[in-house]
């Protein structure tokens, strides 16, 4: 487990699982952009990145819109829960 500002404190390697609990910001786009830009370097070919976040300040559609700007990544699965506003989005390297 690494506590880091995006990947700033994470050793350069390929990981099978990256989990990020998205912080609450008025505009998370700059953080998401940094994450999505660097993620393909850190994900193994079979790896997944799971983002956990509150869907009220950050609607899933907004996250997916930002992700759409990064062709090296694709959505694996989106999970939302009826009993609260949290969501999980699983992302992997795009198939080539």
pLDDT digits (tens, 9 = 90+) for 12-56: 999 999 998 887 767 788 889 999 999 999 999 999 999 998 888
Tell me how far CA of residue 34 lies from CA of 2, 30, 48, 84, in angstroms: 17, 6, 17, 27
CB–CB of 11/3 below 8 Å? no
pLDDT band, very low/low/confident/very high, at 85 (cuts 50, 70, 90): confident
Query: Which pLDDT score, from 0 to 100, does residue 17 have?
Result: 96
| Cα(49)–Cα(14) distance, integer angstroms | 12
Over pLDDT 90: what percentage of the chain? Answer: 62
Query: Which pLDDT score, from 0 to 100, does residue 52 have?
Result: 92
pLDDT of 90 over the 80 cut: yes
Backbone angles phi, psi at 25, to 5 degrees: -135, 155
Running DSSP on this structure, what letter comes out for residue 82?
Answer: T
């Amino acid at each position: 487990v690494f506590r880091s500002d995006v990947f700033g404190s994470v050793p350069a390697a390929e990981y099978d699982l990256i989990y990020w609990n998205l912080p609450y910001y008025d505009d998370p786009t700059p953080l998401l952009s940094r994450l999505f830009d660097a993620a393909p370097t850190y994900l193994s070919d079979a790896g997944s990145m799971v983002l956990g976040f509150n869907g009220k300040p950050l609607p899933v559609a907004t996250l997916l819109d930002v992700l759409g700007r990064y062709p090296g990544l694709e959505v694996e699965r989106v999970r939302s829960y009826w009993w609260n506003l949290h969501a999980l989005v699983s992302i992997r390297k795009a198939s080539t």
